[in-house]
Every structure is written in structure tokens, then in C-alpha cells.
């Protein structure tokens, strides 16, 4: 709830305008081992040169268990120099799990859970290509755990 309030305040105080250098505000990306699980696809909208809102999602099947993950987040550029940047991300993760029934006498099982994550990472970006590496702490029902992620994206 606090995260949603912070995002609303930040969005209301920043104009949604394109950067002066003509770089697109839209980023479409794919990731491995990131915020959305083993792999994911995502979208990010830059609200200002240092602030962006994004979301990533994935769907995976692991031994007949179907996992759908959605991860909205706030992206903040901490330091930047030319094509290099240090950034932080803060967000939530919601995962829905479904195990279909292999027999007629059992209906199967579904569960939905949530948590949060905080990440810090390095970004190398050109006008149309963005590459990122992140280290994260993910907190959920099972406790806290580390994660790494690799992202490659395009700005149209």
C-alpha cells in the first residue's frame, strides 16, 4: 500500500515528457532469472530521466505445475555517466500456481502468493539497446532469498 502511495505521489509530481536527447520513453525487454522468475518479458515507461514504472511477467510449467508471475516495480537511476548507470528497483511479485489433477477423484490445487523485492544493478544503454545485470533480495511467505537477473531490451 505504501509503495502505491509513493508511486502516485511521484507520478503526480513529474511530467511525462520525452527526454531532451530524443531517446524513447518506452522499453520492451526480456529477462533471465529476474524479477518474474526463470525468464520473463516486460515493459517500462520512463516518467523522467531518472524515474520509470515497469512490469514484468512470465509463465512456466515445472513438472506439471503451472506458474504465472507478475511483478510491477519502480525503477530509479541512482548514478549515470554516458551509457553506464547504477540503478535500484523496488516492487512486488504476485505468483499464481496451479497443479492440474492427474486423476478424476482430485480437483487439483491452486494457490496465489505475493512478496516484494529490492534490486540494485548496472545498466549499459545506447539509443535503442539496453542491457542490465541485477542483484536482488526477494521477500515472501517462505522468507528472504537472493536472486540475480540479466535483461536485454529495446527502445523503439
So what's the pLDDT on residue 137? 96
Reply yes or no on whether the pLDDT at 134 is more than 90. Answer: yes
Other beta carbons less than 10 A from residue 90's beta carbon: 15
List 45's β-bridge partners, or say none. Answer: 26, 53
User: Which tens digit of pLDDT belongs to each residue from 75-85?
Assistant: 999 999 999 99
So what's the pLDDT on residue 101? 86
In a domain, 88, yes or no: yes
In a domain, 51, yes or no: yes
Other beta carbons less than 10 A from residue 151's beta carbon: 23
So what's the pLDDT on residue 31? 96
In a domain, 132, yes or no: yes
User: Which tens digit of pLDDT belongs to each residue from 17-74?
Assistant: 444 467 899 999 999 999 998 999 999 999 999 999 999 999 999 988 999 999 999 9
**Residue range(s) defining the domain that contains residue 88:** 2-11+24-154
Give the C-alpha separation, 20 to 112, whole Å. 42
User: Which tens digit of pLDDT belongs to each residue from 78-111?
Assistant: 999 999 999 999 999 999 999 988 888 888 899 9
Contact 93, 73 (CB under 8 A): no
CATH number at residue 64: 2.40.160.20
Stronger pLDDT, 33 or 1, i.e. the higher one: 33
Reply yes or no on whether the pLDDT at 15 is more than 70. Answer: no
Residue 44, SS3 per DSSP: strand
In a domain, 36, yes or no: yes
So what's the pLDDT on residue 104? 83
* Count of domains for the chain: 1
Give the pLDDT mean for 141-150. Answer: 94
In a domain, 55, yes or no: yes
Stronger pLDDT, 1 or 58, i.e. the higher one: 58
So what's the pLDDT on residue 18? 41
Amino acid at each position: 500500500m505504501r509503495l502505491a502511495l509513493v508511486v502516485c505521489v511521484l507520478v503526480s509530481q513529474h511530467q511525462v515528457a520525452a527526454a531532451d536527447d530524443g531517446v524513447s520513453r518506452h522499453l520492451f525487454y526480456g529477462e533471465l532469472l529476474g524479477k518474474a522468475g526463470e525468464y520473463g518479458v516486460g515493459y517500462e515507461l520512463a516518467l523522467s530521466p531518472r524515474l520509470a514504472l515497469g512490469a514484468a511477467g512470465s509463465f512456466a510449467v515445472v513438472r506439471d505445475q503451472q506458474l504465472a508471475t507478475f511483478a510491477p516495480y519502480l525503477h530509479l537511476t541512482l548514478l549515470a555517466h554516458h551509457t553506464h548507470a547504477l540503478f535500484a528497483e523496488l516492487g512486488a511479485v504476485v505468483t499464481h500456481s496451479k497443479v492440474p489433477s492427474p486423476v478424476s477423484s482430485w480437483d487439483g490445487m491452486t494457490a496465489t502468493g505475493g512478496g516484494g523485492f529490492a534490486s540494485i544493478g548496472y545498466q549499459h544503454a545506447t539509443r535503442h539497446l539496453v542491457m542490465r545485470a541485477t542483484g536482488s533480495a526477494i521477500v515472501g511467505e517462505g522468507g528472504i532469498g537472493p536472486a540475480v537477473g540479466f535483461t536485454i531490451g529495446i527502445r523503439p
